[in-house]
Structure 1
Amino acid sequence: METPAPIDLATWPRRQHFEHYLQASPCTYAMTVELDATAFVEALRASSRKTYVAQVWALATVVNRHDEFRTVLTGDGAPAVWPTVHPAFTVLNAERETFACVWAPYDPDFGAFHDIAAPLLAEHASATEFFPQGAPPPNSFDVSSLPWTSFTGFTLNIRDGWRHLAPIFTLGRYVERDGRVLLPLAVQVHHAVADGFHTSRLVNELRALLADPAWVG
């Protein structure tokens, strides 16, 4: 079982920011962006890969590059960093108009991840349980998709969520504008672990993955 590595507060450059935004002024924020997904969509049209699985993998890839998005509070409230985090993502039961939350272990190889995640979506499309696999592992982060509409803003309001440090992502419906295909993405972040600089870097790395989708296969 994976365990998070403690952060040495004595040498952590972020200590004061962490303590301020966790204790003195608990604060989360949301950023909504439109990602140019033109090349990504073209690659998927030429492939048998599933779009949603590819979106989830791309998010998991950039999240796993950075400690700030893998940070967690231990039982005694100390910050620590997971070696790997895994995406938990929603699947709609269209007949019941409810969704289930499933998760797949992250693999840096997209093909290997797709081979696990795509069957999960098919298997649980008729799920009647919220968590058909049981509770997601503690080292998971959440992704949801709203493929029925695009948006220019999206904010989650989590009651008593001041200790939830993992990022939360919401994907929207593609929109075409000026010959480009754009993907709305909302990112919910805890300010204790990540500033606008860190979230902007994550978004820009995601843009780069979508712009050069040779990995789609």
Structure 2
Amino acid sequence: MTALRPIDLATWPRREHFEHYRDRVPCTWEMTVELDVTDFAETVRRTDRRTYASQLWAIASVVNRHAEFRMQLLEDGSPAVWDVVHPMFTVFHPDTETFSVLFVPYDDDPARFHEAAVTTMERYRDDHRMFPQVDRPENVFDVSTLPGASFTGFALHVKDGFDHLLPIFTIGRYRYVEGRTVMPIAVQVNHAAVDGFHGSRLFTELQTTFAEAGWLRG
């Protein structure tokens, strides 16, 4: 069973930083990068994998490597870390120009995750409720897309967002630069949980995951 484990503040190296950005200077920050996804895009075309489901696995696999992206506040406001977090993502309904929000349990096997994600998307394809799944867990992080637009900057403003520690991702449309395929992706994080170092490492590992997409053939 997945657990939410309290952080031992007495031994946590980031205690001072957490308390500063939680109590004295509450703030969130956002970062947008363009990842080179040339190998990923070409590999998807040569396999039966779907782009969105595969993007979700790539993001979730990196998120789950690091405790700072699996954090949540307990009722008393103290920090804790989930053993695992699952992607909760948007799917668009062209006929109504609305979207639904779905989740799929994270699986470190990309093939099993892909099958589960595709099955879930197909199951709820014609269900126009915003939240059609009734069994959504607490340990989810958000992913959404702007498939009709590429961007170099993106900002999201969440009311009472200073209590939200899990990351929020937004993916944009591919564009082509000097023969390479690039994908804009933005992340919003809470500074109480995530510093610039952690954000930079996240995107470095995401770049490696998309640039070395042999896992799609497994």
Q: TM-score, normalised by structure 1?
A: 0.98
Give the aligned residue type for 1:21.
Y
Alpha-carbon deviation of 1:40?
0.4
Q: Distance in 1 between matches of 2:142 and 2:76?
A: 23
Partner of 1:89: 89
2:105 paired residue number = 105
Shift of 1:201: 0.2
CA RMSD of aligned residues (A): 0.9
1:29 aligned residue = 29
Give CA deviations for 1:85-104 in whole Å, capped at 9, x if unaligned: 00000001110100000000
Matching of residue 131 in structure 1 with residue 131 in structure 2: yes
Equivalent residue, structure 1, for 2:14: 14
Contiguous gaps of at least 5 residues in structure 2: none
How far, CA to CA, are the matches of 2:39 and 2:112 in structure 1?
22
Tell me what 1:67 maps to: 67
One-letter identity of the residue aligned with 1:30: E
Q: 1:134: how far off?
A: 2.1
Output the CA distance in 1 between the equivalents of 2:122 and 2:94: 12
CA distance in 2, matches of 1:23, 1:147: 37
Q: TM-score, normalised by structure 2?
A: 0.97
Q: Give percent identity, aligned residues only.
A: 53
Structure 2 distance, partners of 1:33, 1:17, is: 25
Structure 1: distance between partners of 2:136 and 2:57: 17
CA distance in 1, matches of 2:161, 2:149: 27
Could you say which residue in structure 2 is the equivalent of 1:57?
57
Deviation, 1:34, is 0.1
**CA distance, structure 2, for counterparts of residue 92 and residue 126 of structure 1:** 10
The residue type paired with residue 192 of structure 2 is: A
- CA distance in 2 between partners of 1:36 and 1:127 (Å): 34
Paired residue total: 217
Measured after TM superposition, the shift of residue 192 of structure 1 is 0.3
Q: Distance in 2 between matches of 1:134 and 1:146?
A: 25
Moved more, 110-119 or 128-137: 128-137
Q: C-alpha separation between the residues in 1 aligned to 2:109 and 2:22?
A: 35
SS of residue matched to 1:112: helix
Which range moves more in the overlay, 127-136 or 59-68? Answer: 127-136
Write the distance in 1 (CA, Å) between the matches of 2:198 and 2:49.
Answer: 30
Q: Give the letter for the 1:192 counterpart.
A: A
The CA deviation at 1:151 is 0.4
Opposite residue 128 of structure 2, the aligned amino acid is T
Residue type of the partner of 1:35?
L
Matched-pair contact (CA < 8 Å) for 1:91–1:124:
no
| 2:80 alignment counterpart | 80
Contact kept, 8 Å, 1:175 with 1:182, in 2: the verdict is: yes
Q: Are the counterparts in 2 of residues 72 and 82 from structure 1 also a CA contact under 8 Å?
A: yes
Task: Give the distance between the partners of 2:3 and 2:209, measured in 1 at CA.
Answer: 29
Deviations 1:152-186 (A, max 9, x none): 11110001111100000000000001000000000
SS in structure 2 at match of 1:162? helix
